[in-house]
A and B are shown apart, each in its own frame.
Chain A
Amino acid sequence: MFAAGLRVSGSRPGPACPHRRSSSSHAAHRSATIQLGRPAAAAAQRRQRRQLSVRADAHQPPSTQQLPASLQKIVGAFQIVPDPMARYKQLLFYAAKLPAMKADDHVPDNKVEGCVSQVWVKPELREDGLVYWTADSDSQLTKGLAALLVLGLSGCTPQEILSVQPSFIELLGLKQSLTPSRNNGFLNMLLKMQRATLALAAAQAQ
């Protein structure tokens, strides 16, 4: 599966962006991106690809990660729940909170390959330079995981999204496996989201 193919060992990624950037730094970032010439854009793309490939190294200790504030908040909400069944319950509440995805968006392009259940995720890169997500699944628990990612990664910069390590899921205490596998719904979902982000960022850089 593609997850295994992406796995690399060695270099660690650069520091993640832990907090919301100020609007002025967003503007600066956007204009810098726009000013990139083609060769520079290609170099940026290569750099981002390299970073994405490191994303799949799921075994970075979760505690060393700096997550986007929105995702950190969700992780915190899980960490105060004591037992596994209550955490599953919480996951289902997140599933219920997930805004409905348009029927037109349930298309192969948005589908996460390699899930036992059906999952769709769709990004939108808005004028503010931030990415916003919608998602859906026919499995409630998978929908809950999708909701965590949608709520935790909407309103983030592409760079923040690309910096998220799959290992953060361990902090939720859901016994979610991080082994790259054809049926690892969570891992394949996050990788799909990071690929889509990379594609959007690359398109913008053109």
Chain B
Amino acid sequence: MQTAVAAPGAASLAAIAERVRAEVPVLDQRVHGRPLVYLDNAATSQKPLAVLEAMDRYYREYNSNVHRGVHFLSARATDEYEAARQKVARFVGAASDREIVFTRNASEAINLVAYSWGLNNLKPGDEIILSVAEHHSNLVPWQLIAQRTGAVLKHVGLTPQQELDMDHLRELVTPRTKLISLVHVSNTLGCVLDVPAVVEAARSVGARVLLDACQSVPHMPLDVQALGVDWVVASSHKMMGPTGIGFLWGRYDVLESMPPWMGGGEMIQDVFLDHSTYAAPPMRFEAGTPAIAEAIGLGAACDYLSAIGMDKVHALEEDIGTYLYEQLSAVEGVTIYGPRPSAPRGRAALSAFNVAGLHATDVSTLLDNAGVAVRSGHHCTQPLHRHLGINASARASCYVYTTRADVDAFVAALRETIEFFAEVGA
């Protein structure tokens, strides 16, 4: 199976996965009497001790509100909170930490752009280009904004290989196009966006570009400046950080041009009874006491992943993702959605699939009984499932701690599940 060239690399990558695994406590348990095989990483990732300890330390040693007090604890909390912002900025290659806005999650980051930039810049007849493969969080905010502004939504379709169709995108772009907002790596198809083609199409008409990078930031090296887009959103909990925090990166001049969305403490310069002046970005967009422990946890996750090296994380995932795809596609009756791993831009280490004649929920229920955690349903991409002509799919998704043993256990349990249903005659 292994080629002479790939083998040594694969072995050292597997050693990384084993090492990380030992540092993620939740993975070491039995579920329904079987060792846990956690393959729902596209929904959320598990957390290493380093992240748990950073959050614990904040509450135990220096819990205090940020940007307010002059006392010792507040100063330390502020330092750590802002250090986390710097870590995120470095992690994604931002020009400055002033370009990182902490949000509750990626959905809130998209809503921030929609309500701040969208409401103030879109006019009736202006066009927003999305795709049929978007997560609901990159569809619904724009539907709401389109209703309010009279802007028109257009959707990029798929190629026969089930990647976003860049020829179709170029056809959709007109002088009325003001925004192209697309998923960098699809959480269902696993396909990787041709970002240069998107940026070129957008620049030809002066449109802005937002990239939903929830499934790319955790898994590959990313340089937001090199991408040439205007905004990038991502969430912490998919990259070994805690839930309750995500971030928006925006080019500073773009963020500076955006009015505040939510009002409250933190985001102001001076407040009078009838009006206020606002702080510069990023504080302008962070109303109220932020999720301090969570930001610090996210910073620790950036440190943790950077210490491994995002190039190594990506190489490891390419290896395990290809292995998953090959093993899964060898199971009779299985259809995997999205491009093959040999596609020019590859595919993410996840496989959304269906087994002929079986409902995804039935498959994942019996997999759970065997200790295997996979997602089933529409993965918040209902329009994509409709586009593919299916109601639901199951999805196995890997991360840096996923081993070949995990994939083997999953595929064995899947074969047992299929046999079980065949025996019963369902």
| Contact (Cβ within 8 A) B32 A96 | no
A93 within 8 A of B: yes
B392 partner, pick from A93, A96, A117, A140, beta carbons under 8 A: A117
Residue of B whose beta carbon sits closest to that of A115: B361
Question: Are the CB atoms of A141 and B391 closer together than 8 Å?
Answer: no
In contact, B426 and A183 (Cβ under 8 angstroms): no
Contact A95/B420 with A116-B376, A116-B392, A139-B359 known, Cβ cut-off 8 Å: no
Task: Mark B348-374 against chain A: 1 for CB-CB distance below 8 A, else 0.
Answer: 000000000011111001100100000
Contact A92 B426 (CB under 8 A): yes
Please, how many angstroms separate the alpha-carbon atoms of A185 and B376 in the complex? 13
Contact between A141 and B377, CB atoms less than 8 A apart = no
Stretch at the interface among A7-15, A55-63, A64-72, A83-91: A83-91
Chain A: interface secondary structure? helix
Within the assembled complex, what's the spacing in Å between the Cα atoms of A138 and B359? 7
The residues of B that contact A185 with a CB separation of less than 8 Å are: 361
Decide yes or no whether B425 CB sits under 8 A from chain A.
Answer: yes
- A153 → B minimal CB distance (Å): 23
In whole Å, how far is B388's beta carbon from the nearest beta carbon of chain A? Answer: 16
Check if B59 is an interface residue, CB within 8 A of chain A. no
Point out the residues of chain B lying under 8 angstroms from A142, CB to CB. 359, 361-362
* In contact, B377 and A88 (Cβ under 8 angstroms): no
Q: Is A206 part of the contact surface with B, judged by Cβ < 8 Å? A: no
Instruction: With both chains docked as a complex, state the minimum distance between the C-beta of B279 and any C-beta of chain A, in angstroms.
Output: 38
In the complex the two chains form, is B32's CB within 8 Å of A183's CB?
no
A145 CA to B109 CA, complexed, in Å: 40
Among A89, A93, A140, the most chain B Cβ lie within 10 Å of the Cβ of A140
Q: Is A88 in contact with B369, judged by CB distance below 8 angstroms? A: yes
Q: How far is the CA of A93 from the CA of B32 in the complex (A)?
A: 23
Contact pick for B426, options A85, A95, A117, A175, CB 8 Å: A95
Give complex CA distance A88, B366 in Å: 9
Which one of A85, A95, A116 has the highest number of Cβ atoms from chain B below 10 Å of its Cβ? A116
| CB of B356, distance to nearest CB on chain A (Å) | 14
Please name all residues of chain B whose beta carbon is closer than 8 Å to the beta carbon of A118 when the two chains form the complex: 391
Cα–Cα, bound, A84→B371 (Å): 13
Contact present for A84 and B361 (CB under 8 Å): no
A residues within 8 A CB of B424? 89, 92-93, 96
Whether B377 pairs with A85 at a CB distance below 8 angstroms is no
Interface size (B, Cβ < 8 Å)? 20
Chain B residues with Cβ below 8 Å from A84 are 32, 369
A interface bracket (residues with beta carbon within 8 Å of B): 10 to 19
Contact assessment for A96 and B426 in the assembled complex, using a CB-CB cutoff below 8 Å: yes
Interface string of A135-149 (1 = CB under 8 A from B): 000111110000000
B319-368 at interface with A (beta carbon < 8 Å): 358-362, 365-366
- Neighbouring A residues of B362 by C-beta, 8 Å: 117, 139-142
**Choice from B32, B358, B376, B423 contacting A175 with Cβ under 8 Å:** B32
- CA A11 to CA B34, docked complex, whole Å: 40
Contact residue among B369, B391, B420 (Cβ-Cβ distance under 8 Å from A138): B391
Q: Are the C-beta atoms of A116 and B361 separated by less than 8 Å?
A: yes
Measured CA separation A112–B233 after assembly (Å): 35
Which residues does chain A contribute within 8 Å of B421, judged by CB atoms? 92, 140
When distances are taken between beta carbons in the complex, the residues of chain A under 8 Å from B369 are 84-85, 88, 175
- A96 cross-chain contacts in B, Cβ below 8 A: 424-426
Return the CB mask of A92-109 against B: 1 if under 8 Å, else 0.
110110000000000000
Among residues of B, the one whose C-beta sits closest to the C-beta of A91 is: B424
- Cβ distance A91 to chain B, nearest Cβ, rounded Å: 9
Return chain B residues, CB-CB under 8 Å to A89: 420, 423-424
Q: How far is the CB of B146 from the nearest CB of chain A, in Å?
A: 25
Q: Quick one: closest A residue to B364, CB to CB?
A: A116
Contact with B along A112-135 (1 / 0, CB 8 A): 000011100000000000000000
Note all chain A residues with C-beta closer than 8 A to B426.
Answer: 92, 95-96, 140
**Across the interface, which residues of A come within 8 angstroms of B360, CB to CB?**
116
| CA–CA, A92 and B420, complex, Å | 10
* CB proximity to A under 8 Å, residues B143-191: none
Distance of A142 Cα from B364 Cα, bound (Å): 12
Complex contacts, A93 vs chain B, CB 8 Å = 424
| Bound-complex Cα distance A116 to B424 (A) | 22
B361 in complex: contacting residue of A85, A92, A141, CB < 8 Å: A141
Q: What is the CB-to-nearest-CB distance from B419 to chain A, in angstroms, rounded to a whole number?
A: 11
How far does the Cβ of A183 sit from chain B's closest Cβ, in whole Å? Answer: 7
| Closest beta carbon of chain B to A196's beta carbon, Å | 23
A183 and B380 CA atoms in complex are apart in Å by: 13
Q: Which residues of the partner chain A approach B376 to less than 8 Å between Cβ atoms?
A: 116
Across the two chains, which residue of chain B brings its CB closest to A84? B369
Contact of A140 among B32, B359, B378 (CB under 8 A): B359
Q: Tell which of A85, A138, A141 has the most Cβ of chain B within 10 Å.
A: A141
Please report which residues of chain B, range 374-417, place their CB below 8 angstroms from some CB of chain A when the two chains form the complex.
Answer: 376-378, 391-392
Show the binding face of A for B, using Cβ within 8 Å: 84-85, 88-89, 92-93, 95-96, 116-118, 138-142, 175, 183, 185
Please report B residues at the A interface, Cβ cutoff 8 Å.
Answer: 32, 358-362, 365-366, 369, 376-378, 391-392, 420-421, 423-426
Q: Besides the contacts A84-B32, A116-B392, A175-B32, what 16 more A-B pairs have beta carbons closer than 8 Å?
A: A85-B369, A88-B365, A88-B369, A89-B420, A92-B421, A95-B426, A96-B424, A96-B426, A116-B378, A117-B359, A117-B391, A117-B392, A118-B391, A139-B361, A140-B359, A142-B361
**27 A-B contacts (beta carbon < 8 Å):** A84-B369, A85-B369, A85-B420, A88-B365, A88-B366, A88-B369, A89-B420, A89-B423, A89-B424, A92-B421, A92-B426, A96-B424, A96-B425, A96-B426, A116-B376, A116-B377, A116-B378, A117-B391, A117-B392, A139-B361, A139-B362, A140-B358, A140-B421, A140-B426, A141-B361, A142-B359, A175-B369
Closest 6 interchain pairs by CB?
A: A139-B359, A140-B426, A116-B377, A92-B424, A141-B362, A116-B361
